[in-house]
Structure 1
Amino acid sequence: MGALSNLLIPAVLFFALGFFARVVKSDLRFPQDMAKMLSIYLLVAIGLHGGYELGRADLGVALQAVVWALVMGFTLPIIGYLLLVVTRRVSPLDAAAVAAHYGSVSAGTFLAAVAYLDSAGIEYESYPVIMLAVMESPAIIVGLLLAAWTRRRMGRNGSAEPAPADPVGQGGMSSLLHEALTNGSVLLLLGSLLIGAIAAPGSMDSLFPFINEIFMGVLCLFLLEMGMEAARRIREFRKVGVIMVAFGLVMPLIGGVVGVAIGHWALGFGLGGTTLVAVLGASASYIAVPPAMRLAVPEANPSLYLTLALGITFPFNVIIGIPLYLYLARLVGAA
């Protein structure tokens, strides 16, 4: 199957349709809160499916997957933060907020990768679903810590004077950590994963139509809406700047390479599993992290991190990145 035909799958094509609809100023719109409902379904479905597989999986490998997911979740935001600070094009607080998005994960990108592998007939391990469930919170925590450190170092007004007391630095860290760990998306995914893992196998049979048979249809609707939203955000390129656009393309490549290395050499996954770990490393969150950053780092510019995550990195990964990560997985010998 050629690279072009690999892209001609319904999920990707619906994303392109949504993008096109917005570009030509179509009156196509989703009902209010429908995108949120679709997101809830997708998180529950992948959580239940992953939990069901986890209940039948090797516990040792599952624990290794969790450990490496935490490693990625804690280190990738720091890499992103350092890259952004070096450019001197954004403030350190903006850099902290953006970096948190790139250490976190995109369920939409992951689901598009699953659809891509399914269409190509490539099997994959279930462990990346576990990694998806645990990678959201570490990046949020790192982003909050980077913001707190930046405030102390530079002051709220960007001066060298000590910063006034802030909620992150004065006992508020526990509440912020609680918020990161109990974020709705994280809680829903982890809770569904746990339910799928501990539920009696026979009782899960009645849920399989809900988990499997309508899954791709809902995913297509979700990516249709994401295509429209990405087209809306892409118009803000001129506000971001060339350097930031480059970051939105380079950072997923760095994360993808890290993911390939971890998936293949550290976890010993096959071709499909290694590709999915690469996608986790390459993706940027646009659902769970933005509200957390907006609340905890109000000084950061929301249009900056939303434009990068949703307007640049998401379409790049869906259209170019996923086939590229599969190629890299093949290149290192994953089979």
Structure 2
Amino acid sequence: MGALFVGVDGGGTSTRCVVVTESGEIAGRGRAGGANAISVPDPAANLRAALLGALEGLDPARVAGGVFGLAGAARAAEPAERAWREAGLAGRPAVVADVLVAFTGATDQPDGAVLVAGTGAIGARIRDRRIVRRADGLGWLLGDEGSGVWLGRRAAAAALNAIDGRGAPTLLVVRVAEAVLGAGAAGEDDGPALTQALIAAVYARVAESGPAWLGTLAPVVDAAAREGDEVARGIVAEAARRLCRTAGVVLGEGARERGTQAERGPDQIGAGPLVLAGSLLTEPTELAHLVRAELGRRAVLVRAGDNAAGAAALAVRAALPGDPRAAEAHRVLIEQGGPWG
């Protein structure tokens, strides 16, 4: 029996794991809750659950290596290694940034850039399958501009502002109230009582599930924007503007304005594709439409595939450095990297 390799993609709301063969065939899949160390209370438990799901029916002794793509890779190493041990696997997995496996899950090119907008948001410049520059990815409190959590916070704030008169009237009052409190929550009296109910519920949900819960309100903003609500449209347009600004940084656009390619250095050359990753950019959202329209004029866009498969591709490449079989396995994994359902 041949060696097996593990690839894990741990996001803010879900963790996906694949176990693959040396030739790139997927032998097992597992899925669990989020594994972001900032916004998820127990990331190790979800990593372990995804690992065990993918390994079901397989011999753990055959696993020769693994790569975990996680936000905040430095602080994520401990929960990743703990989950690896508790799943009965020998050795240690490599832990890399989630943004890197988003890139390698979409393209076998060594150089390019990636923009992620899901629960969080980050941009990165990639050279030789290593991150050489980052923009944003600062977490829900300090950054992640244009992310699901960013959108959710602004949706809740816009609803509350409309209720007390500081903001323009908006469909978000009814839609946020329904999402947070249930159908019919926003009645004829949308005053102080509704305000207090929303505040209490939002804070309680965040305390219970972590800040990532705010990302569940992102579809509310998108739906209201599609219906023509001006406040929602403004929030989505601002999210798109901020994401495109992040992309511009990692594409080296500022450097192109300041000097020649030779002066900028290889980490700022706009070569290779720009991978768009995260549900807000890969699904047919209003935000994706705006971002693609703008960035499509500035780079060759590639839609993200299976980030867990991208992590597995890195694991195979690490085990077979310079081996043409690893490059072929990478291509096979990208071809298999469809939706999880």
Bin of the TM-score, shorter chain as denominator length = under 0.3
More helix by share: 1
User: Which of 1 and 2 has greater Rg?
Assistant: 2
**TM-score if structure 2 supplies the norm length?**
0.26
Relative contact order higher in (CA < 8 Å, ≥ 6 apart): 1
